[in-house]
């Protein structure tokens, strides 16, 4: 069930109508449904419970403290990829044994932080990282729990920029060298190699790549007789951005696949979904500033820009656009929807069939809860927009927008200038 829908012709998030929030906070802003996040998380949690799986939410998708707190209370662990994300997990009270540390470029300081404050496992991506981690743990008199991330050389059939499991990608240890990794690790006294890890990409909309990659993992474990107790299957579950073109797998089918492949292996299975948990819980609300006739196309210039939502500019990604007032003339018009930033990549939609928006009309960019707020920039000195969370008929600001003076005052003019 979606928690973002029209009630009496006005788009609502749960029981709250969007125009009333817009009047108080001003556009553009992000708006999230707490109930949607809960539903998504519980759907995954309950589904993977069928094979005893644990969910480590990949907070890179959306790391707002309010959202992390909500998920933590529901039983989530966290997948982190920086010392900063690790500290975000800690700040909502998450114990170290519910945190998995991923990432291809962990620093010595990050290793020290996680080792001293507690960590369930580091997902190690190279031999050099293995040696550094062993040294850092040795100096602290600790043993680092680890899994090795393997690169299976499988195409996730997704956008090339978010594909991570092909041999040419920077991620993981090549599948051909995993056995050697186990041999090297067994000779090191300050690491404890507990498992294997894999993450082949994001926005995966078919089970096929998972089937291939997981099949390779299972064969490797059997053929090389790898002694492991844990298996981290990464994230990647796709969502529906385009109501017609995207048809991602159902969570239940994903779980069935995992059971089929690993069911008889007696492994503790971990997954790291990010997008699936938060994507459809969030929208970006913007206002039309101008309707503008170009030589051969019509533009809607809005008050949100690529700094607020970079995905269309960066990955040519599609976000459905809905009017806040459903009654807006349906028309049959094609528009380019663009922001105020001074470059042509500041385009949200090209030649899109949309209703007859007029200046001051509000619109929502749908499925904007993942990889949106976390990728905000302040390009063109545009303050990062406010984030609002709704639950039932309640709403609260969960991130304030900085004032322009806040932004200017962070910068320092040296005394010698």
311 contributes a contact to ligand LLP by CB under 6 A: yes
Residue of 244, 342, 412, 413 marked active site:
342
State the DSSP string of 82-141: SHHHHHHHHHTT--GGGEEE--S---HHHHHHHHHH--SEEEE-SHHHHHHHHHHHHHHT
Query: Given the complex with ligand LLP, which of 253 and 358 has the nearer CB atom?
Result: 253
Distance CA 134, CA 390 (A): 45
Query: Given the complex with ligand LLP, which of 370 and 389 has the nearer CB atom?
Result: 370
In the structure encoding, which two tokens stand for residue 368, read together?
């904007």
Binds ligand LLP by CB under 6 A, chosen from 14, 38, 79, 303: 79
262 contributes a contact to ligand LLP by CB under 6 A: no
Query: Given the complex with ligand LLP, which of 276 and 335 has the nearer CB atom?
Result: 276
209 contributes a contact to ligand LLP by CB under 6 A: no
Task: Using CB atoms within 10 Å of the CB of residue 19, give its burial: 0 to 12 exposed, 13 to 18 middle, 19+ buried.
Answer: middle
Residue 28 preceded by cis peptide, ω within 30: yes
273 contributes a contact to ligand LLP by CB under 6 A: yes
Q: How many residues bind ligand LLP (CB under 6 A)?
A: 21
Binds ligand LLP by CB under 6 A, chosen from 88, 98, 199, 399: 199
Window 45-64: residues binding ligand LLP (CB under 6 A)? 58, 60-61
Give the burial string for 53-68 (b: 16+ CB within 10 Å, else e): bbbbbbbbbbbbebbb
Q: Please list, in sequence order, all residues whose beta carbon lies within 8 angstroms of the beta carbon of residue 241, skipping any fewer than 6 positions away.
A: 279, 317, 318, 319, 320, 366, 367
Window 371-410: residues binding ligand LLP (CB under 6 A)? 371
40 contributes a contact to ligand LLP by CB under 6 A: no
Give the CA count within 13 Å in the CB-facing half-sphere of 217. 31
Window 334-353: residues binding ligand LLP (CB under 6 A)? none
Of 389, 363, 286, give the one whose Cα is nearest residue 33: 389
- Our answer to whether residue 342 is catalytic in this structure is yes
Query: Given the complex with ligand LLP, which of 82 and 401 has the nearer CB atom?
Result: 82
Distance CA 352, CA 342 (A): 21
Binds ligand LLP by CB under 6 A, chosen from 236, 248, 323, 339: 236
Range in contact with ligand LLP (rule: CB under 6 A) among 19-27, 66-74, 270-278, 395-403: 270-278
Window 83-102: residues binding ligand LLP (CB under 6 A)? 102
282 contributes a contact to ligand LLP by CB under 6 A: no
**Site residues (vs ligand LLP, CB under 6 A):** 58, 60-61, 79, 102, 162, 199, 202-203, 234-237, 272-276, 311, 315, 371
The catalytic residue positions are 342
């Amino acid at each position: 069930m979606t928690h973002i829908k029209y009630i009496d012709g006005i788009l609502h998030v749960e029981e709250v109508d969007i125009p009333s929030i817009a009047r108080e906070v001003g556009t553009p802003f992000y708006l999230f449904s707490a109930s949607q996040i809960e539903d998504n998380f519980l759907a995954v949690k309950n589904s993977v419970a069928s094979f005893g799986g644990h969910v480590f939410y990949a907070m890179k998708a959306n790391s707002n403290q309010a959202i992390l707190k909500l998920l933590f209370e529901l039983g989530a662990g966290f997948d982190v990829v920086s010392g900063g994300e690790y500290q975000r997990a800690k700040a909502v009270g998450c114990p170290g044994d519910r945190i998995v540390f991923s990432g291809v470029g962990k620093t010595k300081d990050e290793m020290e932080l996680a080792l001293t404050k507690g960590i369930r496992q580091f997902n190690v991506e190279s031999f050099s990282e293995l040696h550094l981690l062993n040294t850092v743990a040795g100096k602290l008199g600790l043993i680092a729990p680890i899994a090795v991330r393997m690169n299976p050389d499988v195409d996730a059939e997704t956008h090339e920029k978010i594909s991570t499991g092909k041999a040419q990608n920077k991620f993981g240890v090549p599948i051909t060298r995993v056995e050697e990794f186990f041999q090297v690790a067994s000779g090191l006294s300050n690491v404890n190699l507990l498992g294997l890890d894999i993450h082949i990409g994001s926005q995966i909309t078919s089970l096929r790549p998972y089937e291939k990659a997981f099949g390779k993992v299972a064969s490797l474990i059997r053929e090389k007789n790898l002694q492991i107790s844990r298996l981290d299957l990464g994230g990647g579950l796709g969502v529906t951005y385009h109501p017609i073109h995207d048809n991602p797998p159902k969570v239940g089918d994903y779980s069935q696949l995992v059971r089929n492949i690993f069911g008889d292996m007696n492994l503790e299975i971990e997954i790291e979904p990010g997008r699936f948990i938060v994507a459809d819980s969030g929208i970006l609300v913007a206002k039309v500033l101008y309707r503008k006739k170009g030589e051969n196309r019509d533009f809607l210039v809005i008050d949100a820009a690529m700094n607020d939502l970079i995905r269309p500019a960066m990955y040519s990604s599609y976000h459905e656009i809905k009017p806040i007032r459903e009654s807006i003339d349906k028309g049959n018009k094609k528009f380019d929807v663009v922001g105020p930033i001074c470059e042509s990549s500041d385009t949200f939609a090209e030649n899109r069939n949309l209703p007859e928006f007029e200046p001051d009309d509000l619109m929502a960019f749908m499925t904007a809860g993942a990889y949106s707020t976390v990728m905000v920039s302040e390009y063109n000195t545009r303050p990062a927009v406010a984030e609002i969370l709704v639950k039932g008929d309640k709403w609260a600001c969960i991130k304030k927008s900085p004032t322009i003076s806040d932004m200017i005052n962070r910068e320092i003019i040296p005394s010698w200038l």
